[in-house]
Amino acid sequence: MAPSKITTILATLTCLAGLATAGMENLLATAEVTASSHRENAGPEKTTDGIVGDDSRWLAAGDDAAPWIEFRWPAPQHIVVADIFSGWRNQDAVENLTLSILHDGEWHTEPQWKLRENTNPARRIEVDRETTGLRLDILPGGKDTTARIREVAAYASVFPPVGTGLTFDGLRGAEVDFSRHIIAINQIGFEATRGKRFTAPLTPDGTRFTVHHLGGETVLYKGQITGRIGDFTAFVPADSDVEYVIRIAGGSLQDGESDPFWIRHDFFRKKHWQSALDFMIDSRSVLGTHPSAYGGHPWRDGTYYDSIIPSLVLFFLADPAWHLATERQIDFHAEKAMVLDPEFKFDPHASGGRVLDATRAYFELPPPADDAPDVVKLMHWGAGFYLCHPETRDPSGDPLGYQIHAQTLEQIAWFLWLQPELEAWIPEKFFDLCRDLLFTHWESSGALGISEWWPMESYMEFPHPTFGRLHPFKGRHAPGHSIIPNLLMHEIATRDGRDDAAHFLDAAVTQTQWIIDELDWHDPRTTKGHRMSEHTTIRSLVWILQNHPEAAPDGLLEKIEQWAEIAISRSDNLWDFRRYDMDEHWTIPVLNDVGNWVGAPAILTAASWVVRDDAVRQRLRELAISHIDFTFGRNPRLAAAPAKPDLGFTGIERGWPKLYPEDVCARLETVRGSISSGPGTEMFPFNPSGEYRHPEGWVNYGAAWCISLSYLAFDPQRHAPPQP
């Protein structure tokens, strides 16, 4: 079940009454409180008792048509921010209220202090005024005008974490020591010659930081915090097994030290490639670490739009020699014997039927060579499964149901395109079967046209937690997903000497032109709203521009540059994190957002290859790395996304603390290299104890991660691979 829709910023921090940092004290703790009315045992004084809870809140009388509550001081106070905790059970926030300040004996408000259609039970308002009083008016128009105010806090600092000085009744959250400098950093490490940044969310600008060997005192590099960010990109040490730490001292906070991390050349290949490959091996349906096939696709909980086969193709092309050198883990013949054994125990739950039959039929196809690299055997498995079971569905409420989906065929097109590189391991007959499937069904699947799901008119405003369609937020129909596959089909048809080769190129151009004309990047649903599938759109635009410049429509480069400018504008914050929008949503509404982060490096890197402004190019490359850092610890929860870091992620001190129940759905808790979840809007800008999002990982995240690792490997050439 999807998590609650309500975007909350709730903190369950231990009491910080002794915190000495200036401006961090709750000024309302000393205010006199009055209200228009109240119910028994729910007086206005409950809103300043330091407790956020359902048993400690102000409730106006039932017949009070215009509830209000006032807070007054005998002397003026400079209020920078005010936090309003409303609702019940962390939901049902007061929808319409107005905050006013007392100035020269009169109440005064500003437009930005008027909350309308509020859904946030912990709403922060920037005030930045001197006043002798605050007032909240609860307005009619919401579904419930009852004044449910659990607590109100006000601070004289621009950056006290939400919940500072408060305790939270019945809620358990992160144990974070806010009395010291906090350093949020990639817990694993950095490539020596790429960006190296961290966030110090409590540290004032201008504060000095230093880099040391773990346990050492010698200063290896020093810099200053700017915008609550530290940058040590210029520190490029020689490769070694030593770990490093960041230290910050000074000011009113106690000294802080970061988690240890490595810095090495070619770090991503050394630290992440094997676990990414292991993930694809372990998460296979039937054959991997669990004999099930949740969803009925080649990978457990896979879908027709999961991009796994394309990710494997790109991963192979990123460094064929690396894959040739890896230890072989997949044994076709042993797995065949296992599956064909009459005693084999298959778990058919939610597999959609035919999966075991399709798997057994797969082992009757021409097999890969025994010495084929595992990445090639994985491609063979994915394409072969679809040859035996081409009609599939997405089980999560997709209205399309069972059919041969265009995106299924598009995945196989990647494999067939790679035939010249794979002929040493894959029999020609197998490629012929793929070719027949593609050319027979390509046009009827809709791959040559404009999908009905690409236009923005088909989008939902926000995802509903129980409504399966979730378009575009589920990531099913990324605009332009057919562009690269049509270009690949054009090259396949040209290679085969077919007379219809031009049809595929024409389709790709038409689809590209449609994106230029129809998609509005300013609407976040067209970009980050496509979740982990967003990487498809921008990579496709860059691909046609670089590989078929003679056919690229006018305005294509400008369209990519516009996307880049918007992405950069939404990333100007202490996390170097691209927000969903600049309103209340830092991440995609409701859903687990981590797949978007691990796919972002591919998008940002690809765009950096073609934009013309050097500063834009540099910032895109910086953000590509920052999203990896965010995934592995540089985030408001101070935790890395993998819930079980011992399975493939050496170096993580704190994995994702919210675990998905074991032995259900895709059983990814048994899989190496699984990436689970991360902070939602509820934890931003720095609220470590905010409400958790859905904690389940997804194979689609593994595909997006593989694609990003591949693009980072292509980056020195500033080009994805040309035709094989």
Identity of the residue numbered 419: Q
**Residues spanned by CATH 2.60.120.260 within the chain?**
27-168
Residue 702's φ and ψ, nearest 5 degrees, are -60, -35
**Residues spanned by CATH 2.60.40 within the chain?**
189-264
pLDDT digits (tens, 9 = 90+) for 254-288: 899 999 999 999 999 999 999 999 999 999 999 99
Confidence category of residue 339, pLDDT binned at 50, 70, 90: very high
For the cut 50, the answer to whether the pLDDT of residue 171 exceeds it is: no
Tokens 């991503």, located at residue: 268
Which residues, in sequence order, are bridge partners of residue 126?
81
pLDDT of residue 630: 98
The CATH fold of domain 27-168 = Jelly Rolls (2.60.120)
pLDDT digits (tens, 9 = 90+) for 646-658: 999 999 999 999 9
Write the Ramachandran bin of 683: left for phi over 0, alpha for psi from -120 to 50, otherwise beta: alpha
Which of 548, 542, 547 is closest to 563 using CA atoms? 542
Of 130-134, 463-467, 518-522, 698-702, the poorest mean pLDDT is in 463-467
Tokens 């027949």, located at residue: 436
pLDDT digits (tens, 9 = 90+) for 372-391: 999 999 999 999 999 999 99
CATH of 189-264 given 1.25.40, 2.60.40, 3.10.620, 2.40.33: 2.60.40
Of 137-151, 223-237, 494-508, the poorest mean pLDDT is in 137-151
pLDDT of residue 5: 29
pLDDT of residue 17: 30
Cβ atoms of 485 and 493 closer than 8 Å:
no
DSSP letters of 602-659?
HHHHHHHTT-S-HHHHHHHHHHHHHHHHHHBT-STT--BS-S-TTTT-TT-SS--SSP
pLDDT of residue 302: 96
pLDDT of residue 7: 30
Q: What is the mean pLDDT of residues 121-150?
A: 84
Confidence category of residue 19, pLDDT binned at 50, 70, 90: very low
Of 178-187, 223-232, 258-267, 506-515, the poorest mean pLDDT is in 178-187
Residue 685: is the preceding peptide bond cis (ω within 30°)? yes
CATH architecture of 267-717: Alpha/alpha barrel (1.50)
pLDDT of residue 723: 77
Confidence category of residue 9, pLDDT binned at 50, 70, 90: very low
Cβ atoms of 696 and 15 closer than 8 Å:
no
Distance (Å, whole) CA 483 – CA 540: 6
pLDDT of residue 219: 98
pLDDT digits (tens, 9 = 90+) for 234-253: 999 999 999 999 999 998 88
Q: What is the mean pLDDT of residues 283-310?
A: 97
Confidence category of residue 144, pLDDT binned at 50, 70, 90: low
For the cut 50, the answer to whether the pLDDT of residue 353 exceeds it is: yes
Confidence category of residue 444, pLDDT binned at 50, 70, 90: very high
pLDDT of residue 141: 67
pLDDT of residue 8: 31
Confidence category of residue 466, pLDDT binned at 50, 70, 90: low
pLDDT of residue 253: 86
pLDDT of residue 20: 35
Confidence category of residue 588, pLDDT binned at 50, 70, 90: very high
Residue 76: is the preceding peptide bond cis (ω within 30°)? no
Percentage of the chain exceeding pLDDT 70: 94
Confidence category of residue 25, pLDDT binned at 50, 70, 90: confident
Q: What is the mean pLDDT of residues 660-686?
A: 95
Confidence category of residue 140, pLDDT binned at 50, 70, 90: confident
Q: What is the mean pLDDT of residues 56-84?
A: 93
Distance (Å, whole) CA 240 – CA 667: 36
**Mean pLDDT estimate for the chain:** 92
pLDDT of residue 173: 44
Which of 566, 541, 561 is closest to 553 using CA atoms? 541
pLDDT of residue 703: 98
pLDDT of residue 15: 31
Return the SS3 of 530: helix
**Residues spanned by CATH 1.50.10 within the chain?**
267-717
Of 39-48, 85-94, 123-132, the poorest mean pLDDT is in 85-94
Q: What is the mean pLDDT of residues 13-29?
A: 56
Higher pLDDT, 16 or 625: 625
